[in-house]
Chain A
């Protein structure tokens, strides 16, 4: 047994009467990458949050290098050499890259009461370069950088001071393939420096490939710890869910012909700076996958079809001949859209589940401009229950739902609207295995019912597993097309992506 850097002893975290982390005793080795997996709500994020001082511990303790460690705050945790990279954006807009990196550590660059900005910028640039992120300029505003670059900046921020333990919480869901590779490089560097990474991810293959050991949590309890080299997908899923998962995770059918019936044609669509002269069509009952690197413009295609792009040229035409140019027009004519940015562009988080589900259908639910509130309640209830959204009631605010349930609310909304064309951008981003399976099942069912789906995704497995046809984009243009085929592999897609 090698050296233990961090140990939790009978750790518990309770919220009111419920126990989120239940008597977890775990050991983390020095110089290792330790995976932590479990379904949404299994306690893995809460466990790490107590470690990093985000939540106070209810009972039990952490031992960092043999000494009891109880962080009062994230800054306190940093000072003791424990840092965290979170799932959502952790950088502050309106500040420069350098200011973000040294947030809370500005004292280092103070001469009396004056901040030595150029010294701070120089130091930040040196750090960025040492990570190989030369293209990020320390003195520029963070707002100039994409979601993905900000994630990389956060990685620098959380690791530059050579912490002993780094928690990487669901960070990969925000990153493209290239960004992930950069993250894994950093993780390996931390490991070889004799420090430890706690890696939380929903992507089991990724966890198996990049960790030394994996601990599995279920309902707040530790199920077990396995050596990464001696386990597989199936075993981990079983341990996570506590039962055998059916094989019907992705579609299993092959060779089904695609209908000739074109329901949507996209011609010569250009959005300045994002996509150039993109043309394709969508058939009835088809699941069309669109993939590529994060910045290849594929996310803009969803918006362009939905009438939500600024400065779009070219045409998006439905079978009926209707040309889509606005969001209300798109919705009225049967197009649905679920954004990658779920919290800002899909659900109004500070509003009720009821209002969120009813919004697009308000017109259908009114008679002579008047709405019947009972009808709205019934409508919301019907579709929320159909999608089995876990909620206390339809009047609950969306803000308290987990990512998977938020996505279910979005889907209920469009199923309720009975849209014929669903544009789903990263439909399973940050969502656990069980809800993922639900969403795939729903997609198959919609396909059977003759609905057409455009699925934009950064997950190659998902594209291969679910699509009838896959378009791969590169630098804002379509760079390849693949028809559903058992022999198609990730490598085929990647060659067209880069």
Chain B
């Protein structure tokens, strides 16, 4: 009996997984359609789209790092602060060389990520606690450095503020991320660790090392995002990048990423999620004039989308 019932359960689950897989894409299309109508087509004009794209780069790139962290069951609330600090470091070094500046931002990001990873792995502190602490810590450094005013980047950097350049850089980062995720053992390892740490360890994966590296990589990737951030804004103030962490988390969840991580993480979560988030960010001000209303509606929409797409099954499986 159970044999047969099992096939039924599996079939049901396959359907559910399939639905869950396409739901974020469906949600994206619905949101675009609804807001296109509500904004009487203003949303899908070229100028709106290019404005939207200008917002999506930083989010999409830094979401890749958090995606890996979330796959192993972690969370990162320090992304915004890392972006801020890495941006400042880029600004400083960009006065000597832009290439060195990018390198410095990536290294600084990696160092901050490694700092997170070290505390998480070495002292077994839950990742969200560690990163909430470092969020304040890195932010504090940002504010301290910018007490006397924003840190400007070299004026040459502004010349790179071209859509094609930012698009190309984002594309390259996504491609690299995709290759690492699909064509190296990283994806398999991270998924297994997220699904069951002990079982993964007993199968030869190294959970601690992988987690540490995921944090470090996530910081480094945010270093690249910091580069694009500076290209866009030119100079960095103490609050640069704040709220980025929540934007990333919401974007990933909108994209279908299971909050508890594990085997159901898909690379497409990053892309669809970031796009959906940016469409919402773009279109709400067009529909609702008052910022308070925008916030309110945003909150409601996120709740509804999350409630519809969240995978209750895997939440139960993962402790």
Contacts and interface: CB of A to CB of B under 8 A. Distances in A.
Interface stretch (B7-15, B105-113, B125-133, B138-146): B7-15
A392 B203 contact: no
A360 B204 contact: yes
Contact of B185 (A13, A332, A362): A362
Given A46-B2, A220-B1, A345-B198, A400 B9 contact: yes
A351 B262 contact: yes
Interface stretch (B41-49, B187-195, B272-280): B187-195
Given A351-B262, A355-B263, A339 B4 contact: no
A194 interface: no
Q: How large is the interface on A (under 10, 10 to 19, 20 to 34, 35 or more residues)?
A: 35 or more
B188 A40 contact: no
B74 to A, nearest CB: 16
B183 A20 contact: no
B297 interface: no
Nearest to A45: B2
A161 to B, nearest CB: 29
B199 A18 contact: no
Given A18-B8, A306-B202, A370-B184, A355 B196 contact: no
B3 interface: yes
A344 B3 CA distance: 23
A20 B5 CA distance: 6
Contact of A344 (B13, B14, B184, B196): B196
A369 B192 contact: no
* Interface class of chain B by DSSP: helix
A355 B185 CA distance: 10
Interface string A362-400: 110010011111001000000000000010100011011
A179 B9 CA distance: 35
A355 B1 contact: no
Contacts of B195: 348-351
A58 to B, nearest CB: 11
A199 interface: no
* Interface class of chain A by DSSP: mixed
Nearest to A337: B202
Contacts of A306: 202
Nearest to B314: A350
A356 B196 CA distance: 11
B201 A327 contact: yes
B317 interface: yes
Contacts of A390: 3
A20 B6 CA distance: 9
Q: How large is the interface on B (under 10, 10 to 19, 20 to 34, 35 or more residues)?
A: 35 or more
A345 B207 CA distance: 13
B262 to A, nearest CB: 5
A18 B12 CA distance: 12
A147 to B, nearest CB: 15
B318 interface: yes
A297 interface: no
Contacts of B6: 41, 400-402
A41 to B, nearest CB: 4
A422 to B, nearest CB: 14
Contact of A20 (B1, B189, B202, B317): B1
A224 interface: no
A21 interface: yes
Interface in A299-340: 306, 308, 327-328, 331-332, 337, 339
Interface string A273-311: 000000000000000000000000000000000101000
A19 B1 contact: yes
A20 B3 CA distance: 8
A220 B2 CA distance: 8
B124 interface: no
A19 B204 CA distance: 40
A358 interface: yes
B186 to A, nearest CB: 9
Given A22-B1, A402-B2, A392 B196 contact: no
Interface string B1-39: 111111111111110000000000000000000000000
Contacts of B318: 350
Given A219-B3, A351-B191, 7 more contacts: A16-B12, A19-B4, A43-B2, A328-B204, A345-B202, A348-B192, A400-B13
26 contacts: A16-B8, A16-B11, A20-B2, A46-B5, A219-B4, A327-B201, A327-B202, A337-B202, A346-B202, A348-B199, A349-B196, A350-B195, A350-B318, A351-B262, A351-B263, A356-B203, A359-B205, A362-B204, A369-B184, A370-B184, A371-B184, A371-B188, A376-B188, A400-B10, A401-B6, A402-B3
The 6 closest A-B pairs by CB, nearest first: A220-B1, A18-B4, A41-B2, A43-B1, A20-B1, A15-B5
